[in-house]
A and B are shown apart, each in its own frame.
Chain A
Amino acid sequence: DGGITQSPKYLFRKEGQNVTLSCEQNLNHDAMYWYRQDPGQGLRLIYYSQIVNDFQKGDIAEGYSVSREKKESFPLTVTSAQKNPTAFYLCASRDRGDSPLHFGNGTRLTVT
């Protein structure tokens, strides 16, 4: 089955630690995205990548970093510089052109 796999589903970390969220897709999509979802705030774009070894900041990139070394993988690192890291993180991908986004099932990150 083609799809987007995010792992782990739940992640717990202590304040001050960096943490990396995994996103893998087998849809052969060119573009990949990371969104953050908070209650009452909707989805906000963190980073996106159109092609391997290239990525752009979204609306709320501060405190986050990404890499795109392989077409199928787009990991997100939440650094200790992110002031409010506790959130639901969603990875998405899109085929070329103006096709819609397809989402993974998210990672719930809790930082205490």
Chain B
Amino acid sequence: QKEVEQDPGPLSVPEGAIVSLNCTYSNSAFQYFMWYRQYSRKGPELLMYTYSSGNKEDGRFTAQVDKSSKYISLFIRDSQPSDSATYLCAMYSGGGADGLTFGKGTHLIIQP
């Protein structure tokens, strides 16, 4: 079983729709959860960073973490064509300096 599962898509939705992106994980030690956005031929850009369970909102983006279900989500409201990108979830147990564990990314397409 892979540590982090993420549907690769592509996920295609019309402009203005609410988008839901999800990851599941198996390692209960993960405490820090991140969402990155990556445009083609660019590096990942940090969107959201959360610790433990709960919700965090930043503009049109909301991150949710449910540690009991080992499930994290990213919601995008009022989606725009500029949101078309690959979204990577990442997580980390904390306390060390080793790298993050990434999902493989979901390719999102917002149709104008």
Instruction: Check: B92 CB closer than 8 A to any chain A CB.
Output: yes
The distance in angstroms between the C-alpha atoms of A102 and B32, with both chains bound, is 15
Q: Closest residue to B6 on the A side, CB-wise? A: A42
Q: Are A41 and B104 in contact (CB under 8 A)?
A: yes
Instruction: Check: A73 CB closer than 8 A to any chain B CB.
Output: no
> Which among B90, B99, B104 has the highest number of chain A CB atoms within 10 Å?
B99
The distance in angstroms between the C-alpha atoms of A47 and B12, with both chains bound, is 35
Q: Which of A12-20, A75-83, A103-111 contacts B (4 or more CB under 8 A)?
A: A103-111
Instruction: Check: A21 CB closer than 8 A to any chain B CB.
Output: no
Q: Are B97 and A108 in contact (CB under 8 A)?
A: no
Q: A41-B104, A42-B88, A43-B102 are in contact. Are A98 and B44 (CB under 8 A)?
A: no
The distance in angstroms between the C-alpha atoms of A108 and B43, with both chains bound, is 11
Q: How many residues of B contact A (CB 8 A)?
A: 25
User: Main secondary structure on chain A at its contact with chain B?
Assistant: strand
Instruction: Check: B17 CB closer than 8 A to any chain A CB.
Output: no
Q: A42-B88, A98-B32 are in contact. Are A48 and B99 (CB under 8 A)?
A: yes
Partner of B99, one of A4, A33, A88, A106: A33
Q: Are B49 and A104 in contact (CB under 8 A)?
A: no
Q: Are B45 and A35 in contact (CB under 8 A)?
A: no
The distance in angstroms between the C-alpha atoms of A90 and B94, with both chains bound, is 22
Instruction: Check: A100 CB closer than 8 A to any chain B CB.
Output: yes
Q: Are A108 and B44 in contact (CB under 8 A)?
A: no
Q: Are B94 and A98 in contact (CB under 8 A)?
A: yes
Binding site for A on B (CB under 8 A): 8, 32, 34, 36, 41-46, 49, 51, 88, 90, 92, 94-95, 97-100, 102-105
